[in-house]
Amino acid sequence: MYYCCGITETGNVKTHNEDAYLIGHTVMTDKPFETELRGPFIAAVADGVSGEAKGEVAARMTLELLADIRPSGRTDYKKKVMAVHEKIKRYGAAHKGHENMQTTLCAVVIDSKDIPHIINVGDSRLFRMSQGRLRQLSTDQSLVQLLYSGGHMTNEQRLYSNDRNLILPVIGNTGSDPDPQIIVTEPLGYGEMILICSDGLSDYLTPGEIEDILALPQRLPKRLSALAEKALGNGSRDNITVVAVSAAADR
């Protein structure tokens, strides 16, 4: 059994929320949500691309389509994500004002054998929390990450670059197709947690700050809210969304 919860908020700067999150078959765009689930299920965060039309529509629709996937041992998750991408492209092309609507996608599929399958398109992030330490499992699909991985940028330059929000093709992009990152990792042990968030959170918190807040003796939804509040206090100008999947009775 897994305890899952999520929050999303507009933040202090933007006028509307282009983020959304999925837990099981429930897509949320404005309110907190918590539940207990057994595998198989999917938890995900989508961050609509602000520079394009209707990012919030792309984010919500992507998660609604993702929720229709029935995970099994034979599921080709890359193929499923590309099918979602094509549907988002077609919808955008067919509806005036929605052309080239785009979104990131970061998700975990817990299958019937409790094996996590990580899906990533864009620069939302997925972490694994184990024994109080945070480890990023997803790899940002961004220009600065590409330059850093190629040895053309230092880690400090990557963190503070003005180009850190330039991402590679994501879901809905009409010019180029995305390249979904798929990772299979070991099952969560007792006390371990998966954390998924949009860059409105991860760009404004250090791993140490996240670890400290998640270690607080509070219910998990309160800790997620504390993460959002800390990111806003650190200057976040974006929407903030975060989802937690816990393999323990950590509520």
Taking only the tens place, the pLDDT of each residue in 26-52 is: 999 999 999 999 999 999 999 999 767
Give Cα 36 to chain centroid, integer Å.
19
Amino acid at 20: A
| pTM for the predicted model, two decimal places | 0.93
183 within some domain: yes
What CATH number is given to the structural domain containing 7?
3.60.40.10
150 within some domain: no
165 within some domain: no
pLDDT at position 166 over 80 = no
84 within some domain: yes
pLDDT at position 177 over 70 = yes
Give the pairing of strands 240-246 and 193-197: antiparallel
Binned at pLDDT 50, 70 and 90, residue 113 comes out as very high
Binned at pLDDT 50, 70 and 90, residue 73 comes out as confident
pLDDT at position 147 over 70 = no
Binned at pLDDT 50, 70 and 90, residue 144 comes out as low
Q: Residues 225-230: what's their mean pLDDT?
A: 98
- The listed range with the strongest mean pLDDT (100-104, 142-146, 149-153) is 100-104
Among 59-63, 101-105, 154-158, 212-216, whose mean pLDDT is lowest? Answer: 154-158
3 state DSSP class of 88 = helix
157 within some domain: no
Total domains in the fold of the chain: 1
Binned at pLDDT 50, 70 and 90, residue 143 comes out as low
pLDDT at position 157 over 80 = no
Q: Quick one: pLDDT at residue 33?
A: 98
125 within some domain: yes
Q: What is the pLDDT of residues 4-14, one digit of tens each?
A: 999 999 999 99
Mean pLDDT of the chain: 91
Residue 71 pairs with which residues in a beta bridge? none
pLDDT at position 156 over 70 = no
Could you tell me if 63 and 45 are in contact, meaning their C-beta atoms sit under 8 angstroms apart? no
161 within some domain: no
What are the CA-CA distances from residue 199 to residues 72, 129, 157 (Å)?
Answer: 30, 18, 17
Q: Residues 224-245: what's their mean pLDDT?
A: 97
Q: Residues 160-178: what's their mean pLDDT?
A: 81
Could you tell me if 136 and 158 are in contact, meaning their C-beta atoms sit under 8 angstroms apart? no
130 within some domain: yes
Domain assignment of residue 211, given as a range: 2-138+170-246
- Residue in the structure block whose two tokens are 């929720």: 67
Q: Quick one: pLDDT at residue 72?
A: 87
Q: Residues 67-72: what's their mean pLDDT?
A: 93
d(CA 142, CA 163): 9
Q: Quick one: pLDDT at residue 145?
A: 63
Q: Quick one: pLDDT at residue 134?
A: 97
